[in-house]
């Protein structure tokens, strides 16, 4: 499994953009990059995924570096409900499983 490095914690002010970084320097060429988040007392929920191109959906944007060794999850306007642990996961379709690290705990201040 490719290893990931994420900051343990980050803080943001409400209604400001948040950029959550992830380093995955050992990612293979066929690994997708998935992001999940886990709100307090809930199971993780899917946020977004991509392979090479930047991706946007209603929850967030994913910016993938050209060399694919890092990616950034972008929340365009953080709300208090975005306070959660965010996990970056390189996913190999042949492996089948998704391996979670310890993620980044995002605190959103009003």
Partner 1 sequence: DTGVSQDPRHKITKRGQNVTFRCDPISEHNRLYWYRQTLGQGPEFLTYFQNEAQLEKSRLLSDRFSAERPKGSFSTLEIQRTEQGDSAMYLCASSLAAHSSGANVLTFGAGSRLTVL
CB-wise, 43 or 110, nearer to partner 1? 43
Beta bridge partners of 73: 20, 62
Least CB distance to partner 1 at residue 15 (A): 28
User: φ and ψ at 18, to 5 degrees?
Assistant: -130, 135
Write the DSSP string, 41-88. TS--EEEEEESSS-EE-SS-EEEE-TTSSEEEEEESS--GGG-EEEEE
CB-wise, 13 or 54, nearer to partner 1? 54
Applying CB under 8 A, which of residues 23, 61, 72, 99 lies at the interface with partner 1? 99
Q: Rule CB under 8 A: say whether 49 interacts with partner 1.
A: yes
Q: Rule CB under 8 A: say whether 45 interacts with partner 1.
A: yes
User: What does the alpha-carbon distance between residue 34 and residue 8 come to, in Å, rounded to a whole number?
Assistant: 18
Q: Which residues bind partner 1 (CB under 8 A)?
A: 32, 34, 36, 42-46, 49, 51, 85, 87, 91, 93, 96-103
């Amino acid at each position: 499994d490719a290893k990931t490095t994420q900051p343990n914690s980050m803080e943001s002010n409400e209604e400001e953009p948040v950029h959550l970084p992830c380093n995955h320097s050992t990612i293979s060429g066929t690994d997708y990059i998935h992001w999940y988040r886990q709100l307090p007392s809930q199971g993780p929920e899917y946020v977004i995924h991509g392979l090479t191109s930047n991706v946007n959906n209603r929850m967030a944007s994913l910016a993938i570096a050209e060399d694919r060794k890092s990616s950034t999850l972008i929340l365009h306007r953080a709300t208090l409900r975005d306070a959660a642990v965010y996990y970056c996961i390189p996913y190999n379709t042949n492996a089948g499983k998704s391996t979670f690290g310890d993620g980044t705990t995002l605190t959103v201040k009003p």
